[in-house]
Amino acid sequence: MSNSGKRCFLVQLSSFAASHIDSSLHPPPYFLRGTLCNSSMESSLSSLQETPTWELCHRFEFKDTHHHHNNNDNNNNNNNNNNNNNSMDQQMVIECYSRDETNFVGMCRLLPDQLLQLYESSSSSSSSSSSSSSSTANNFLLTLPLCNGVHVKGDLSFHLAIEAVVWLTLQITRITLIPHPPLGSPMCVEISCGYEENGSVVRVKSEYAPREISEWRTIPPLQCKTTLTTLEKEGLSLVFIGESRGEEEEEEVMSHLRIAVPITITTSTLTTITRMGDKGRCTFDVDAPVEFMGLDSTLNCILTGVTMTIEPYLFSISPTGVGVSCNVVKEEEKEEKKDLNKQEDGGNKEDLISSEGNHVPLTEDLRILGEVLRRQEEMLETINERLDFVRNSKTEVLSKLESLRHIAETAAKDPNVLAKNKDFELELHACMQKRRKLQNELALVQQQYIDAEQNHTRCTEEQTQELEKLQMEHGVISNMQEYAQRVQQSIVQVGLTEQRRREERQQQAREQESLTSNDAEALAMVGRLLQEL
């Protein structure tokens, strides 16, 4: 590893909250504005509450521009000066305002050395935490003072996550779909990986293959920046795209598949290796189900010979330590191609000289580039074969057109053919007239059908209305019948009651007669007794 290669980190700030702000001097609402390593952020106004918070998440890349110390004292002094300049360029400043930009509350800042200390503390799993911060792994809760000059106007707390950026190289030997999808336009496979910041998502496409084959072997290698967390969460993205049928038509996305990276790629061992500056390599195969648009059944996507190489992502810095030049893939490939051309001309250089004059070993990169060139040559041979087939087909088509043109010219001079053509024209004219007549009749029938349908609809509506009336009348009659039944039942009950009363009166009359006869007998007996006395 050269001294000019420096580490790069992905930093995420989220869950901001302010406290201990004097609302009499700085009334709410509040908002934040930050300048973070050549990136900027701005929050919305906070809610009118005692402790303002912001649901804001901002990610940016932080580059360690510190040089290694040399034994020479002069070099050490120069490096210290460069480090101070880089610290000022890479510092992170967050400002807090009340109501508008004219009411400045305070600001807090983080220096590169502080970020590096946080990262090193998470790397070594140490529990080094101050009174204003606490950490778990690479996720920290920081509380910083909001300073306005020498005065502290409050505190600002937020979550900070920091992770090293790694350089991912992905190679796939073969991609196969089993069973093959139905016939249609040829398809290609687009593979993407990386995180969204600064356009770090990289996509590569394979060549188009017929659906009856559904196998792709010429797949360019994919190289991109990412983090181990992003790689573990997002994995690899595969998109199957159908070839456009014309210049105006766009390519059609047939299916989308996300492949999880094996857990062995993102273990703590590989993390340690990556932080030490070494490479981590893993080879695996994938067999995953995939659903295609317009298909009820599920296909199997088989990836054979997937090789992933992960190494620290290092960027180059100028000798002054101020200018920064990232190793973007396109620039690196240009330099590699220059070096390869030199080797083909007879040179045996092992290192490639970058634009800044730094030597970067490219043994693995040259091997990858050689593999890419070999695949490109195979693609070129295939294209040449297809071009030869197209040329031969074009020659055959031209010869057939010439023979047809000759036949047409010969037939145009034959009187029998002319007479037949005239008869055909007359017959065609008669057919066209008959067609017009049939079209008129069809239009008339269609109009009659529309009228009949309207009449049917109207009759249906009338019948529906009459049916509703009959149902209402039937309901009234049913109610009257129920009322009559209730009246009849009441009359029957009254008759039964009267009959019981009549029977009771008859019983009372018989009892009265019996009592009367008894009284008469008693009176007669009393009379006899009186006479005897």
Over residues 284-323, the pLDDT tens digits come to 888 999 988 878 888 999 999 988 888 888 765 443 333 3
Residue 525, SS3 per DSSP: helix
3-state secondary structure of 5: strand
User: Would you put residue 199 in left (φ > 0), alpha (ψ -120 to 50) or beta?
Assistant: left
H helices then E strands: how many in the chain? 7, 22
Which residues fall within 8 angstroms of residue 320, CB to CB, at 6 or more apart?
A: 82
CATH superfamily of 166-327: C2 domain (2.60.40.150)
Q: Which amino acid is at 42?
A: E
**What is the pLDDT at residue 269?**
40
Is the CB of residue 26 less than 8 Å from the CB of residue 153? yes
- Residues 228 and 208: beta-carbon distance below 8 Å: no
Can you read off the two tokens belonging to residue 104?
């400045």
| Identical topology for domains 5-164 and 166-327 | yes
CA angle, 40 as apex, 38 and 41 as ends, to 5°?
155
Task: Look up residue 460 and give its DSSP letter.
Answer: H
Say if residues 152 and 22 touch (Cβ distance below 8 Å). Answer: no
State the pTM of this model: 0.51
Model pLDDT, residue 132: 38
CB atoms within 10 A of CB 224: 20
Q: Residue ranges of the domains in the chain?
A: 5-164, 166-327, 329-390
Integer Cα distance of 422 and 315 in angstroms:
82
Reported as a single tens digit per residue, the pLDDT across 381-410 is: 888 888 888 888 888 889 888 888 888 787
d(CA 350, CA 367): 12
Give the sheet arrangement for strand 236-242, strand by strand. 202-205, 187-193, 236-242, 252-259
Cα separation values, 194 from 231, 331, 475, Å: 7, 18, 75
Residue for token digits 């199957």?
Answer: 240
Q: What is the pLDDT at residue 200? A: 66
Secondary structure class of 240 (helix, strand, coil): strand
Topology adopted by domain 5-164: Immunoglobulin-like (2.60.40)
Q: What's residue 506's pLDDT? A: 93
Measured at the alpha carbon of residue 523, what is the angle toward residues 517 and 524, in degrees to the nearest 5?
Answer: 90
SS3 236: strand
Look at residues 32, 351, 302, 347 and name the one whose alpha carbon lies nearest to residue 178.
302
User: pLDDT at position 3, please?
Assistant: 39
pLDDT along the chain (533 residues), means of 10: 63 91 87 85 79 87 63 46 50 85 85 83 52 51 89 92 88 90 86 75 88 87 87 88 76 87 55 52 87 84 89 61 34 44 42 37 59 77 86 88 84 78 88 93 94 94 94 94 94 93 93 90 89 83
pLDDT value for 5: 56
Which residues are CB-neighbours of 387 under 8 A, at least 6 positions away? none
Three-state SS letters, 78-91: HHHHHHHHHHHHHC
Distance of CA 314 to the CA centre of its chain: 30
- What is the 8-class DSSP label of residue 26? S
The structure tokens listed for 392 are 């031969």
